[in-house]
Protein backbone atom coordinates (compact mmCIF):
# COMPACT_ATOMS: atom_id res chain seq x y z
CA UNK A 1 0.00 0.00 0.00
CA UNK A 2 2.84 2.35 0.90
CA UNK A 3 4.70 1.42 -2.27
CA UNK A 4 1.66 2.32 -4.34
CA UNK A 5 1.35 5.68 -2.62
CA UNK A 6 5.01 6.52 -3.24
CA UNK A 7 4.71 5.56 -6.89
CA UNK A 8 1.65 7.78 -7.29
CA UNK A 9 3.50 10.70 -5.68
CA UNK A 10 6.50 10.25 -7.96
CA UNK A 11 4.23 10.11 -11.00
CA UNK A 12 2.55 13.36 -9.89
CA UNK A 13 5.90 15.12 -9.53
CA UNK A 14 7.05 13.80 -12.89
CA UNK A 15 3.88 15.05 -14.56
CA UNK A 16 4.24 18.49 -12.98
CA UNK A 17 7.89 18.95 -13.96
CA UNK A 18 7.20 19.91 -17.63
CA UNK A 19 4.71 22.52 -16.40
CA UNK A 20 7.37 24.06 -14.20
CA UNK A 21 9.72 24.25 -17.16
CA UNK A 22 7.15 25.83 -19.49
CA UNK A 23 6.00 28.49 -17.07
CA UNK A 24 8.25 31.47 -16.16
CA UNK A 25 9.57 29.86 -13.04
CA UNK A 26 12.83 28.23 -12.13
CA UNK A 27 13.43 25.64 -9.46
CA UNK A 28 17.01 25.09 -8.40
CA UNK A 29 18.32 22.60 -5.89
CA UNK A 30 21.74 21.67 -4.70
CA UNK A 31 24.47 22.74 -2.33
CA UNK A 32 25.91 25.59 -4.42
CA UNK A 33 26.48 28.93 -2.75
CA UNK A 34 24.96 31.10 -3.80
CA UNK A 35 22.02 29.12 -5.18
CA UNK A 36 20.24 31.22 -7.81
CA UNK A 37 17.05 31.04 -9.84
CA UNK A 38 15.93 33.42 -12.58
CA UNK A 39 12.59 34.44 -14.06
CA UNK A 40 11.65 36.96 -16.74
CA UNK A 41 8.92 39.53 -17.44
CA UNK A 42 8.44 41.22 -20.83
CA UNK A 43 7.26 44.84 -20.90
CA UNK A 44 5.77 46.72 -23.87
CA UNK A 45 4.89 50.40 -24.13
CA UNK A 46 3.03 51.50 -27.27
CA UNK A 47 3.20 55.24 -28.00
CA UNK A 48 0.81 56.48 -30.69
CA UNK A 49 2.05 58.78 -33.42
CA UNK A 50 0.40 62.17 -33.07
CA UNK A 51 0.35 65.57 -34.76
CA UNK A 52 -1.22 68.77 -33.43
CA UNK A 53 -1.73 72.04 -35.31
CA UNK A 54 -3.28 75.22 -34.02
CA UNK A 55 -3.55 78.55 -35.81
CA UNK A 56 -5.59 81.10 -33.89
CA UNK A 57 -8.35 80.35 -31.41
CA UNK A 58 -8.34 76.79 -30.06
CA UNK A 59 -7.28 74.38 -27.34
CA UNK A 60 -3.67 73.52 -26.80
CA UNK A 61 -0.66 75.41 -25.49
CA UNK A 62 3.02 74.97 -24.70
CA UNK A 63 4.18 76.37 -21.38
CA UNK A 64 7.51 78.00 -20.56
CA UNK A 65 8.95 74.59 -19.64
CA UNK A 66 8.16 73.27 -23.12
CA UNK A 67 5.36 71.01 -21.92
CA UNK A 68 2.41 70.67 -24.28
CA UNK A 69 -1.12 70.35 -22.97
CA UNK A 70 -4.44 70.19 -24.77
CA UNK A 71 -8.01 69.15 -24.31
CA UNK A 72 -9.60 67.03 -27.06
CA UNK A 73 -9.90 69.46 -29.95
CA UNK A 74 -11.79 69.57 -33.21
CA UNK A 75 -12.07 72.08 -36.02
CA UNK A 76 -14.12 74.97 -34.71
CA UNK A 77 -13.59 78.71 -34.59
CA UNK A 78 -11.98 80.25 -37.66
CA UNK A 79 -10.49 83.64 -36.84
CA UNK A 80 -10.76 86.56 -39.20
CA UNK A 81 -8.11 89.21 -39.88
CA UNK A 82 -9.42 92.40 -41.45
CA UNK A 83 -8.21 95.75 -42.73
CA UNK A 84 -10.26 98.83 -43.59
CA UNK A 85 -7.92 101.66 -44.62
CA UNK A 86 -9.31 105.15 -44.93
CA UNK A 87 -8.89 107.05 -48.22
CA UNK A 88 -5.98 108.94 -46.66
CA UNK A 89 -4.24 105.66 -45.70
CA UNK A 90 -4.47 103.96 -49.10
CA UNK A 91 -1.08 103.15 -50.58
CA UNK A 92 0.82 104.65 -47.66
CA UNK A 93 2.47 101.48 -46.33
CA UNK A 94 2.05 98.55 -43.94
CA UNK A 95 -1.01 98.36 -41.70
CA UNK A 96 -1.67 96.14 -38.71
CA UNK A 97 -4.78 94.01 -38.92
CA UNK A 98 -7.81 93.76 -36.69
CA UNK A 99 -8.75 90.40 -35.20
CA UNK A 100 -6.80 87.28 -34.30
CA UNK A 101 -6.88 85.44 -30.99
CA UNK A 102 -4.12 87.75 -29.66
CA UNK A 103 -5.76 90.81 -31.30
CA UNK A 104 -4.18 93.36 -33.68
CA UNK A 105 -3.86 90.75 -36.42
CA UNK A 106 -1.82 88.34 -34.27
CA UNK A 107 -2.54 84.60 -34.21
CA UNK A 108 -1.20 81.89 -31.91
CA UNK A 109 0.47 79.16 -33.98
CA UNK A 110 1.48 75.79 -32.52
CA UNK A 111 2.81 72.55 -33.99
CA UNK A 112 3.50 69.48 -31.82
CA UNK A 113 4.45 66.04 -33.15
CA UNK A 114 6.44 62.98 -32.12
CA UNK A 115 7.62 61.38 -35.35
CA UNK A 116 10.26 63.65 -36.83
CA UNK A 117 10.23 66.76 -38.98
CA UNK A 118 6.87 68.38 -39.75
CA UNK A 119 6.00 69.85 -43.13
CA UNK A 120 3.80 72.92 -42.71
CA UNK A 121 2.03 74.32 -45.78
CA UNK A 122 -0.32 77.15 -46.69
CA UNK A 123 -2.83 76.96 -49.52
CA UNK A 124 -5.10 79.66 -50.99
CA UNK A 125 -7.71 79.52 -53.72
CA UNK A 126 -5.99 82.31 -55.67
CA UNK A 127 -5.64 86.05 -55.20
CA UNK A 128 -8.21 87.76 -53.01
CA UNK A 129 -11.02 89.09 -55.19
CA UNK A 130 -14.08 91.30 -54.86
CA UNK A 131 -16.53 88.89 -56.44
CA UNK A 132 -18.40 89.83 -59.57
CA UNK A 133 -16.43 93.06 -60.04
CA UNK A 134 -13.40 90.97 -61.01
CA UNK A 135 -10.70 92.95 -59.16
CA UNK A 136 -7.97 91.26 -57.13
CA UNK A 137 -5.39 91.87 -54.43
CA UNK A 138 -2.41 89.50 -54.43
CA UNK A 139 -1.52 87.52 -51.33
CA UNK A 140 1.94 89.04 -51.73
CA UNK A 141 0.36 92.11 -50.13
CA UNK A 142 -0.19 90.15 -46.89
CA UNK A 143 2.97 89.66 -44.87
CA UNK A 144 3.28 87.25 -41.95
CA UNK A 145 5.96 87.75 -39.31
CA UNK A 146 6.75 84.93 -36.86
CA UNK A 147 7.98 86.04 -33.45
CA UNK A 148 8.61 84.31 -30.12
CA UNK A 149 5.65 83.16 -28.08
CA UNK A 150 6.74 80.65 -25.40
CA UNK A 151 9.19 78.18 -27.01
CA UNK A 152 12.84 78.97 -27.68
CA UNK A 153 12.52 77.85 -31.30
CA UNK A 154 10.08 80.08 -33.18
CA UNK A 155 7.59 78.28 -35.42
CA UNK A 156 8.14 79.56 -38.98
CA UNK A 157 5.29 80.50 -41.26
CA UNK A 158 4.85 79.36 -44.87
CA UNK A 159 4.57 82.11 -47.48
CA UNK A 160 1.10 83.02 -48.71
CA UNK A 161 0.88 82.53 -52.49
CA UNK A 162 -1.75 83.20 -55.16
CA UNK A 163 -0.86 79.92 -56.86
CA UNK A 164 0.90 76.84 -55.59
CA UNK A 165 1.67 75.93 -51.99
CA UNK A 166 3.83 77.73 -49.47
CA UNK A 167 5.88 75.28 -47.42
CA UNK A 168 8.32 75.21 -44.50
CA UNK A 169 9.98 72.34 -42.65
CA UNK A 170 9.85 72.32 -38.86
CA UNK A 171 12.75 70.25 -37.58
CA UNK A 172 12.83 68.60 -34.15
CA UNK A 173 14.85 70.44 -31.54
CA UNK A 174 15.99 67.03 -30.25
CA UNK A 175 15.20 63.44 -31.15
CA UNK A 176 11.95 63.18 -33.09
CA UNK A 177 9.92 65.59 -30.98
CA UNK A 178 8.63 68.83 -32.49
CA UNK A 179 7.08 71.32 -30.06
CA UNK A 180 7.18 74.87 -31.38
CA UNK A 181 4.92 77.87 -31.21
CA UNK A 182 4.97 81.49 -32.33
CA UNK A 183 3.00 84.67 -32.68
CA UNK A 184 2.11 85.11 -36.34
CA UNK A 185 1.48 88.78 -37.07
CA UNK A 186 -0.43 89.52 -40.28
CA UNK A 187 0.04 92.90 -41.96
CA UNK A 188 -1.39 94.45 -45.13
CA UNK A 189 1.51 95.98 -47.05
CA UNK A 190 -0.85 98.55 -48.60
CA UNK A 191 1.61 99.38 -51.38
CA UNK A 192 -1.02 100.16 -54.04
CA UNK A 193 -4.46 101.75 -54.37
CA UNK A 194 -6.86 98.98 -55.50
CA UNK A 195 -10.35 99.59 -56.94
CA UNK A 196 -13.10 100.00 -54.34
CA UNK A 197 -14.60 96.75 -53.03
CA UNK A 198 -14.46 94.09 -50.35
CA UNK A 199 -11.76 91.55 -51.13
CA UNK A 200 -11.98 88.09 -49.61
CA UNK A 201 -14.33 87.39 -46.74
CA UNK A 202 -15.60 84.54 -44.57
CA UNK A 203 -15.06 81.54 -46.83
CA UNK A 204 -15.68 83.58 -50.00
CA UNK A 205 -13.69 85.38 -52.71
CA UNK A 206 -10.51 83.39 -51.97
CA UNK A 207 -10.28 84.98 -48.55
CA UNK A 208 -9.39 81.79 -46.68
CA UNK A 209 -5.95 80.25 -46.11
CA UNK A 210 -5.73 76.54 -45.29
CA UNK A 211 -2.75 75.52 -43.18
CA UNK A 212 -1.78 71.84 -43.20
CA UNK A 213 0.82 70.00 -41.11
CA UNK A 214 2.09 66.52 -41.95
CA UNK A 215 4.62 64.05 -40.57
CA UNK A 216 6.13 60.87 -42.06
Question: With contact defined as beta carbons under 8 Å apart, do 53 and 110 qualify?
Answer: yes
Q: In the prediction, which pLDDT does 69 show?
A: 79
Question: For the whole model, what pTM was predicted?
Answer: 0.82
Tens digit of pLDDT at every position of the chain (216 positions): 443 443 343 334 444 444 444 558 889 999 889 999 999 999 999 999 999 999 999 888 887 666 787 665 566 789 999 999 999 999 999 999 999 999 999 999 999 999 999 999 999 999 999 999 999 999 999 999 999 999 999 999 999 999 999 999 999 988 999 999 999 999 999 999 999 999 999 999 999 999 999 999
Q: What is the pLDDT of residue 20?
A: 44
Q: Residue 189: which of 102, 109, 83, 100 has the closest Cα?
A: 83
Torsion of Cα atoms, 186 then 132 then 210 then 107, to 10°: 20
The answer for residues whose C-beta is within 8 angstroms of residue 20's C-beta and 6 or more apart is 27
Query: Using CA atoms, how far apart are residues 11 and 15, in angstroms rounded to an integer?
Result: 6
Amino acid sequence: MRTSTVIKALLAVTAATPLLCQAESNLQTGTGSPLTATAHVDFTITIPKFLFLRVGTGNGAINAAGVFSTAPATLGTIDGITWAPTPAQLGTGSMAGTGGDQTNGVETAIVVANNGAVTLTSQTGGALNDGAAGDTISWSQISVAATKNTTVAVLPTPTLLDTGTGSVTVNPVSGKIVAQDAKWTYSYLNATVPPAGTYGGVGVNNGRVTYTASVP
